[in-house]
Structure formats: C-alpha cells, structure tokens
Structure 1
Amino acid sequence: MKKVSWLLLMFFCAVVQAKSFYLIRHAEKVDDGSKDPVLTLQGQQRALNIAHMLSEAAITQVYATDYQRTQLTAKPLADHLGLPVTIYDPRELTAFADQLKAQEGNVLIVGHSNTTPMLVHLLSGEPAFKMSEAEYDNIYQLVIEAGQITLTQFKSLPMQSGGNQSTIEK
C-alpha cells in the first residue's frame, strides 16, 4: 500500500511540475497607419476562437504588451477565465522569460511578429525563427515537464458563423 501511495504521489508531483506556455502573435490589426491600431473584424473573430481553443488549457496567467492589438487579442480568454491581462515590456524579453520560467501554472503570452519568435527561443532554447507581418494564425505551445521541453505549433482560425470547434488538450 505504501508503494502504491508513493507512486501516486510521485505521479502527482510530476503532473504539478509540468507547465505550458502558449505564445501567439496578436490577431489581425486595422491598417490605419497608427502605431496602436485595434483589431479588424477578422482579428476580433480570431481572438474569440483563440479563447475558445484555450479555454480548457488550465491557463492561470495572461500576458500581453501594452498595445491595443495585443490587449484585444488576449481579452476574450482573460475575461472567460476571470483573469487580468498583465502587461509585459517587449523590450525586456530576457528578464520576462526568466520571470515566466520561475512561475507556476500555464500561461498565455500575446506578442508581436518580432517578439514572439524571440520569446519562444528564450523559453525553449530552440533557434529563433522568422515570423512575417502577415502571419496571425500560429499558436506555439511550449510544455516543460521534468526538464524536457516540447514545442508544438497549432493553427487558429477566425471564428466562422456557427463557431469553430477546435480545441487544444490540457
């Protein structure tokens, strides 16, 4: 009996230590020439779909830069989960990555085409990749468990009438 209890405790501890980071670029933005545009209708629909996709991912923290497009992309999920959207400084990615590594729980981070690849690199050690200005549909899931890092890429779609039933498992 003690052996079974010990094994269950070890399994539980391993599960508790696993954490996931979901890194995305903001959804489609209005091309109005401003430095801080809002989301297009398609971008708003994509933000809703991301919220739907990640609603069961046990996210405990939501981060976004201090721009309307990132805040509006993060807001539907944060609202659904009853979480605030915490602002991070995209100019301080190394310090932010260290902060993320030290905290518990699953996290959504909404960034930009020039910050999301670098943050994936800082968190995973994988080579940085390029992200085009037209790329809005990638979700990078980085799972850290028992010192092992797994990076998976998913696609998000803008919400269609009737909804998109895509989900990501916890």
Structure 2
Amino acid sequence: MNCKPSTFLLRFWCGRRHTVTRSKVAAFQRPESLQTIFTIHGLWPNYNDGTYPSNCGSTNSFDHSEISDLTNRLQKDWPTLACPSGDGLKFWGHEWNKHGTCSEDVLDQHSYFEKGLDLKKKANLLEALKSAGASWSGGGYGGYGQQLLPMK
C-alpha cells in the first residue's frame, strides 16, 4: 500500500523502569527531574492501516551538527532512557535513521526534531491527565510507562 503516512508522537512516563541485563533483573530510579514528566520517545510516521515505514534508505544519515542548536531542549524533553544513560546522540540517531528518514519529504532532520519538541510543548499530556482526574501511585506507570492506572 503506497499511502502518505501520518505521524504520531510517542511519549513515555519516566518513573521506575525495570530492565534485564545479562540474566539479572535490575530496577533503578530515574533522576528526580524525570520522575514527574512524560518525555518523547519518537515522532513516527504511520500509514492509515496501522503499519509504518521504517529505515527508508535515505542517504541523509543522522548528523548531530544539523541539530546542535536543539541539544539542550532534546536532552531535557527527548532524553535517552538507556542504562547507563548517555548524551542522547545514539538514541536520536536511531530515531532519525529509523523513523525520521521516512518523513524527509515533509521534515528535514532539524525540522523533525524541532517538530517533536514543539508537539510535546503544545500537548501537555500530564496536565491533561490531571485535569481528567487521573491519579497514580508507587511510581505511576508500570514497566516502560505504557500502562495507565485506572482513572479516579
């Protein structure tokens, strides 16, 4: 199916995360500054049928110099959640190479990351949940933060 994709912003809750490494289960707390926010995981093009393009074969690979003016905002609002944490370059490179290249006809590399940041700012998800009466306890969301506890 050759359809123009729409784009979805994927967000993560940054409370407790459990990870498995070398057959050992490790639980760790995010820095306090990340425990009460939703961050960006990615800006992903999607087709209307629920499938999505990826790794679109662009010759325009990730180049940090293209987004260097966004680095501080990216580290705050689109941080890597890998353990151990890094500076974000590997994560942002993955997101651009896998997903961003599939939206290149609309968004160049700088515009892709800037659009993700702008959408996060515009769509204050945490405030919307609070306004709707959402409540959570004990770290909020389970696992990777994709499960919302029941609304009150």
- With the shorter chain as reference, the TM-score category is under 0.3
**TM-score between both structures, scaled by the size of structure 1:** 0.26
**TM-score between both structures, scaled by the size of structure 2:** 0.28
Structure with greater proportional strand content: 1
Greater relative contact order (Cα 8 A, min sep 6): structure 1 or 2? 1
